[in-house]
Amino acid sequence: MVNIPSSINDPIPPAEVEDVELYHPHSWWTTYVFSQDAKVIAIQYSLTAIAIGLVALVLSWLMRLQLGFPGVFTFIDADRYYQFITMHGMIMVIYLLTALFLGGFGNYLIPLMLGARDMVFPYANMLSYWIYLLAVLVLVAGFFAPGGPTGAGWTLYPPQAVLSGTPGGQDWGIILMLSSLILFIIGFTMGGLNYVVTVLQGRARGMTLMRMPLTIWGIFTATVMALLAFPALFVASVMMLFDRVLGTSFFMPAIAEMGAQLQYGGGSPILFQHLFWFFGHPEVYIVALPAFGIVSDLISVHARKNIFGYRMMVWAIVVIGALSFVVWAHHMYVSGMNPNFGFFFATTTLIIAVPTAIKVYNWVLTLWRGDIHLTIPMLFALGFIVTFVNGGLTGLFLGNVVVDVPLSDTMFVVAHFHMVMGVAPIMVIFGAIYHWYPKITGRMLDETMGRVHFWVTFLGAYLIFFPMHYLGLLGAPRRYHEIGESVVNPPSAHDLNVFITVMALIVGAAQILFLFNAAWSLRRGKDAGGNPWRATTLEWQTPTTPPPHGNFGKELPVVYRWAYDYSVPGAPEDFIPQNEPDPEHRSREHAT
Amino acid sequence: MAVVVILALVAVASVLFHLLSPWWWTPIASNWQYIDNTIIITFWITGFVFVAVVLFVAYCVLRFRHRPGTRADYEPENRKLEFWLATVTTIGVVAMLAPGLFVWDRFVTVPDDATEVEVVGQQWLWSYRLPGANGKLGTSETRDVTAENPLGVNKNDPAGLDDIIIQGGELHLPIGKPVKMLLRSIDVLHDFYVPEFRAKMDMVPGMVTYFWITPTRTGTFEVLCAELCGVGHPQMRGTVIVDNEADYQTWLEQQQTFTQMMASGETPTAN
Amino acid sequence: MSVILIFLAGLASIIIWWMAQQRLTSKPWLEAGRASEISAITRSPLPTAKIGLGVFLAVVGALFTLFISAYFMRMGLQDWWAIPLPSVLWANTAALVISSVALEKAKSSALQNDASTMKLALLISFATAIGFLLGQAFAWRELVSAGYVLADNPANSFFYMITGMHGLHILGGLLVLGRTTLRVWQNETPGHAQLSIDLCAMYWHFMLIVWLIIFALFAGWANDFVEICRQLLS
């Protein structure tokens, strides 16, 4: 298939590539609202995700207030508490993290980093955003519907999710939630097709897969996974909607609710859990892999050193992506499924630890003998390493079937997943925003505000979730509106809860500083120039900043090297852009 | 410098917090000491890795932070180093997984001499059923649940007539004898969770799930529900009392059988 | 869940086959300055739209496979009575086969620049696909009037849900096929219409295969097949 040339001095072929036909907008509406430009869509996705994320942030404040000061805020009754945790969880996992990483960063970075004019199917890309927006609106409508949003927990386990003992179960809440998920998945599929096919077909000349930045590898693999995993959630949602609205019994066994026999029979709640986690576990990596990719690039750029073990990093991403489809039942060790599955799923789960650990080693080995600039993106990357290693290691507790038994459904689980797929990816998101904001707007974010924002967020979040593990170790169950007097809630645990609540309020408030910074710097930030970080990847080599529709001016770039030529011995600068040909046409047989 | 100090502090403070934390598991009251041991092994291995990685990062920042005129090294990869790191990681993972699977095997293998006790969950109440004189539990069916027969015990199964029913009361267990807890729900998911027993398992309507324990300490323990079951989830509490044999027998004799309960026509209240 | 795992294993082998051609073991840092040899493999010669449709069909395949997975898991529980299949389903199957064959004919005549045959074939394909949908609706009505309503039994619920989902996909395809047919009737040249006819045919064949599988599933043949596999394994 591939013919390696006999001589590396072969001339570069002419720069005539078939160009994409762009849709040229004519009016303000088609330029900024119904735009087919991936960059505009990316910003639309990001702003919507951040807006709905702020709602989820406020919800987390409310639930923390209840946990820290039970009984003080009487408007947070049990119904509302469960509605808050459900909406908080669902928004954060799907409508914020998935949408922001794939819809936001994916849309912005894939065409730019690959040297493409735009996504390959711009119209579907635009539809993707509008359907996502509709999904968000349907979700939010839950707050205004009679009975409020669903309070079934973000896992929506039946039968309780559709029964009257759960807020929204017999009202509109659960129906709106399921409809919103179905819409989200339809919208995501349209976007996801774009991300995958653009990586396959849209790359600039010379951009082989092994020359792609790890950011693209992460987003690409995550998108492939999402395309295959989201159908499971789709199927589960459709079936539960049938159960709730049309009276079928897919997930509903015979039930005597409060002494009354219901019209259901024979269904299997475990079936839902299998479908849900068949989506739910890959979902963790759908969020994690883009974060892995982006953080690799942040570390490399700001340590002025090539990412250590690039090939291993690529293989690890692919292997993690594949393995994540055969570990789903580690969320179900105590679900009542056949206990013999535990052996299989514990083994596959712990195997994933190996490629994941390799990634961590390679990040820290990139720092070794680097030229570390402690810029804000680098600080966030360091924050990511600490929180991700912490959260990843506690995953070894929960994945190891028998250790999971006492810890499952306790605050340990809550602390673990917040650390590993809450705090750690959000560190990357912030790092990435500080890193690419100059490209998006042409201005730098304010440095001082950025530092304050980083330290409060990083240390505050660590102080929230690290001690929380110990509440779980003590045995405090999760999803309790109020534990009250119990052996698992001694006075000291109550004090700890107060502390966690105070930290949560502070960390939440620090995000206002970030929003202010983002708005303020838009006009007053320092002028960034085209390539403020002196980075090699193509998005920094655009002729104008911010890049216009079509990205690269008249001619598309041609790629001559991988994305990590930092501090190359003998080179005049400590970085060589990907589109710069090698003047001497010689390969560097350097290092090992 | 501040970055280095804070990173090192994060590592050291986390270890100190672990060592000095007053929040530690409740004193164990069952045979699952093995689980606690596996957690301890896991804490040692993961704790070591965490401290090593964070301190290494702190050292790198200290040693290699930007100074004018310096340049980073150029090192695309080092197969040997990567190979060794992967090998060591694999060994660490095996060291956690092997004891874990070994203990799990015990956890799912119920000893033959275990007596059966049924726990029934419903919103938001625990009930129990113990085998009567014949040592066997009768069959049951959610469809048979009525106000008079709240656990849905099959009236036509002779094995069930002498079953002892404890509706909403306390469960007593004899010390030192293995018990197989049969878990059943008649409405939504619940999870029978006694922190001191370590073991727990979801109860799924339409299925009977189980776990087994041998109580090793007398005392009164709290039962919590560990699977979200609606708004009353936190209120779903119960009590398990581990007795010595004599006390257990005394308690057992005071309990009502299914036949007696059906005859009296009303559900017994908590004793 | 084993059905979906088998499906994913199939996809994985395609992905591995593709990746094997992408030089994933090359050392990119040693290849600076060369663009020539790699430009050849940056993209596939297939039209982008076709690759897009291929990826989309993988997603649709996963969707139906998951429905089938759920079907098998639910079937294992008690209270399962298979639904009797109305004989009109055979006619529907024939209609869908004709529709597929006609599209294939349209494809080849577009290649041969034979505009009149192409028009006719497209029209036949469109009409038979509508016939399929009407037939499905008729089958539903027949079942309902015979008392097999949706919520009665899980087998019924699955039948309505999966055939409904398949029908929706056919309906979506009809929109595109309708647009293509319309454009051809407005005298678009066969060369121009080639790609969209190709895409329609690809989608149509896929939905036909999906239909044959779910038809076999509800007719009970798939169960026999699974039973045989189980016996072979044990």
Place of tokens 């810890």: A407
Please choose, from the candidates B57, B108, B255, the residue with its C-alpha nearest in 3D space to the C-alpha of residue B167. B255
Instruction: Determine the residue among C2, C21, C27, C36 to mutate to test chain A binding: the one whose Cβ has the most chain A Cβ atoms within 10 Å.
Output: C36
Segment A303-319 shows an average pLDDT of 94
Give chain A positions within 8 Å (CB) of C56.
Answer: 189, 193
The sign of the dihedral angle between the CA atoms of B177, B181, B182, B187 is: positive
Q: CB distance from A337 to chain C under 8 Å? A: no
Residue A161 in this model has a pLDDT that exceeds 90: yes
Whether residues C51 and A201 touch (CB distance < 8 A) is answered with yes
How confident is the model over A123-137, as pLDDT tens digits? 999 999 999 999 999
In this predicted structure, what is the pLDDT of residue A246?
A: 93
How confident is the model over B109-124, as pLDDT tens digits? 999 999 999 999 998 8
Whether residues B97 and A346 touch (CB distance < 8 A) is answered with yes
Residue A588 in this model has a pLDDT that exceeds 70: no
Give chain B positions within 8 Å (CB) of A250.
Answer: none
> Which string of b and e fits B224-261 if b means at least 16 CB within 10 Å?
bbbbbbbbebbebebebbbbeeeebeebeeebbbbeeb
Residue A562 in this model has a pLDDT that exceeds 80: yes
Residue A85 in this model has a pLDDT that exceeds 90: yes
Give chain C positions within 8 Å (CB) of A10.
Answer: 34, 36-37
Residue spans in chain B of domains classed CATH 2.60.40.420: 115-264
Interface A-B, measured as beta-carbon pairs within 8 A, has a size of 342
Candidate from C24, C38, C154 with C-beta closest to A266:
C154
> How many CB atoms are located within 10 Å of the residue B266 CB?
9
Least confident range from A108-112, B26-30, B266-270, C64-68: namely: B266-270
Instruction: Determine the residue among A114, A248, A556 to mutate to test chain C binding: the one whose Cβ has the most chain C Cβ atoms within 10 Å.
Output: A248
Query: Domain for residue A274, yes or no?
Result: no
Structure ipTM:
0.94
State the nearest Cα–Cα gap between A100 and chain C, in angstroms.
21
Which residue in chain A is spatially nearest to C77 when comparing CA positions?
A266
CA distance A90 to A173: 13
In this predicted structure, what is the pLDDT of residue A16?
A: 38
| Count of residues in chain C | 234
Q: Report CA C149 to chain centroid distance, whole Å.
A: 27
State the nearest Cα–Cα gap between B101 and chain A, in angstroms.
6
Which residues are CB-contacts of A508 (< 8 A; sequence separation ≥ 6)? A57, A58, A60, A61
Residue A19 in this model has a pLDDT that exceeds 60: no
In this predicted structure, what is the pLDDT of residue A591?
A: 39
Q: Return the amino acid letter for B61.
A: V
Please choose, from the candidates A270, A451, A331, C113, the residue with its C-alpha nearest in 3D space to the C-alpha of residue B3. A451
Least confident range from A110-124, A314-328, B92-106, C69-83: namely: C69-83
A residues 232..291 contacting C (CB < 8 A): 232, 234-235, 238-239, 242, 246-250, 263, 265-268, 271, 274-275, 278
Whether residues A2 and C23 touch (CB distance < 8 A) is answered with yes
Residue A592 in this model has a pLDDT that exceeds 90: no
Q: With residue A561 as reference, give the H or E element that holds it.
A: none
Query: Domain for residue A592, yes or no?
Result: no
pLDDT classification of C233: cutoffs 50, 70, 90: low
C34 or A75: which leads in pLDDT: A75
In this predicted structure, what is the pLDDT of residue A65?
A: 96
Please choose, from the candidates A83, A96, A76, the residue with its C-alpha nearest in 3D space to the C-alpha of residue A145. A83
CA distance A574 to A53: 38
Give the largest CA-CA distance in chain B: 94
| % of chain A surpassing 90 pLDDT | 81
Query: Domain for residue A331, yes or no?
Result: yes
Q: Classify domain B115-264 at the CATH class level.
A: mainly beta
Give chain C positions within 8 Å (CB) of A590.
Answer: 29
Q: Report CA B112 to chain centroid distance, whole Å.
A: 22
pLDDT classification of B264: cutoffs 50, 70, 90: confident
Instruction: Give me Rg for the CA atoms of chain A.
Output: 25
Residue A21 in this model has a pLDDT that exceeds 60: no
Whether residues B77 and A312 touch (CB distance < 8 A) is answered with yes
How confident is the model over C93-112, as pLDDT tens digits? 999 999 999 999 999 998 88
* A71 three-class SS: coil
Give how many domains chain A has, as a whole number: 1
A residues 176..195 contacting C (CB < 8 A): 189, 192-193
How confident is the model over B190-214, as pLDDT tens digits? 999 999 999 999 999 999 999 999 9
Q: With residue B53 as reference, give the H or E element that holds it.
A: helix B33-64
Distances (CA, A) of C60 to A186, A242, A467, B139, C56: 11, 20, 44, 44, 6
How confident is the model over C172-231, as pLDDT tens digits? 999 999 999 998 888 777 777 889 999 999 999 999 999 999 999 888 876 677 777 767
In this predicted structure, what is the pLDDT of residue A23?
A: 63
Whether residues B6 and A484 touch (CB distance < 8 A) is answered with no
Query: Domain for residue A372, yes or no?
Result: yes
In this predicted structure, what is the pLDDT of residue C155?
A: 87
CA distance A376 to C110: 59
Query: Domain for residue A548, yes or no?
Result: no
Query: Can you count the helices (H) and strands (E) in chain A?
Result: 16, 2
| % of chain C surpassing 70 pLDDT | 92
How confident is the model over A384-436, as pLDDT tens digits? 999 999 999 999 999 999 999 999 999 999 999 999 999 999 999 999 999 99
Phi, psi for A221 (deg, rounded to 5): -65, -40
CA distance A517 to A453: 9
DSSP string, chain C: -HHHHHHHHHHHHHHHHHHHTTTTTS-GGG-TT--HHHHTTSS-SS-HHHHHHHHHHHHHHHHHHHHHHHHHHHHTSSS--PPPPPTHHHHHHHHHHHHHHHHHHHHHHHHTT-HHHHHHHHHHHHHHHHHHHHHHHHHHHHHHHTT--GGG-HHHHHHHHHHHHHHHHHHHHHHHHHHHHHHHHTT--HHHHHHHHHHHHHHHHHHHHHHHHHHHHHHTHHHHHHHHHHHHH-
Candidate from A163, A336, A567 with C-beta closest to B209:
A336
Q: Return the amino acid letter for A52.
A: I
Chains with ≥3 Cβ pairs under 8 A against B?
A
Residue B215 DSSP one-character state: B
Q: CB distance from B6 to chain A under 8 Å? A: yes
> How many CB atoms are located within 10 Å of the residue A91 CB?
25
Whether residues A335 and B204 touch (CB distance < 8 A) is answered with yes
Give chain C positions within 8 Å (CB) of A314.
Answer: 24
Please check whether the domain covering C2-233 is classified as CATH 1.20.120.80.
yes
How confident is the model over A273-294, as pLDDT tens digits? 999 999 999 999 999 999 999 9
Query: Domain for residue A513, yes or no?
Result: yes
* A150 three-class SS: coil
B residues 36..55 contacting A (CB < 8 A): 38-39, 42, 45-46, 49-50, 53-54
Residue A295 in this model has a pLDDT that exceeds 80: yes
Q: What is the CATH number of the domain that holds A53?
A: 1.20.210.10
Which residues are CB-contacts of A399 (< 8 A; sequence separation ≥ 6)? A327, A330, A346, A349, A350, A353
State the nearest Cα–Cα gap between A3 and chain B, in angstroms.
24
Instruction: Determine the residue among C13, C26, C31 to mutate to test chain A binding: the one whose Cβ has the most chain A Cβ atoms within 10 Å.
Output: C31
In this predicted structure, what is the pLDDT of residue A20?
A: 52
How confident is the model over A198-237, as pLDDT tens digits? 999 988 888 889 999 999 999 999 999 999 999 999 999 9
Instruction: Determine the residue among A255, A402, A500 to mutate to test chain B binding: the one whose Cβ has the most chain B Cβ atoms within 10 Å.
Output: A402
Residue A14 in this model has a pLDDT that exceeds 50: no
In this predicted structure, what is the pLDDT of residue A539?
A: 94
The dihedral region occupied by C33, where left means phi > 0, alpha psi between -120 and 50, and beta the remainder, is left
Residue A18 in this model has a pLDDT that exceeds 60: no
Domain ranges of chain C: 2-233
Under 8 Å between Cβ of A305 and A567: yes
In this predicted structure, what is the pLDDT of residue A160?
A: 93
How confident is the model over A230-261, as pLDDT tens digits? 999 999 999 999 999 999 999 999 999 888 89
Under 8 Å between Cβ of A114 and A199: yes
Terminal-to-terminal C-alpha distance of chain B: 65
Instruction: Determine the residue among A250, A252, A345 to mutate to test chain C binding: the one whose Cβ has the most chain C Cβ atoms within 10 Å.
Output: A250
Domain that holds residue A504: 35-249+281-541
Under 8 Å between Cβ of A66 and A76: yes
In this predicted structure, what is the pLDDT of residue A175?
A: 96
Please choose, from the candidates A363, A283, A368, A280, the residue with its C-alpha nearest in 3D space to the C-alpha of residue A316. A363
| % of chain A surpassing 70 pLDDT | 94
Mean pLDDT of chain A: 91
Q: CB distance from A463 to chain B under 8 Å? A: no
Whether residues A304 and B71 touch (CB distance < 8 A) is answered with yes
Q: Return the amino acid letter for A213.
A: P
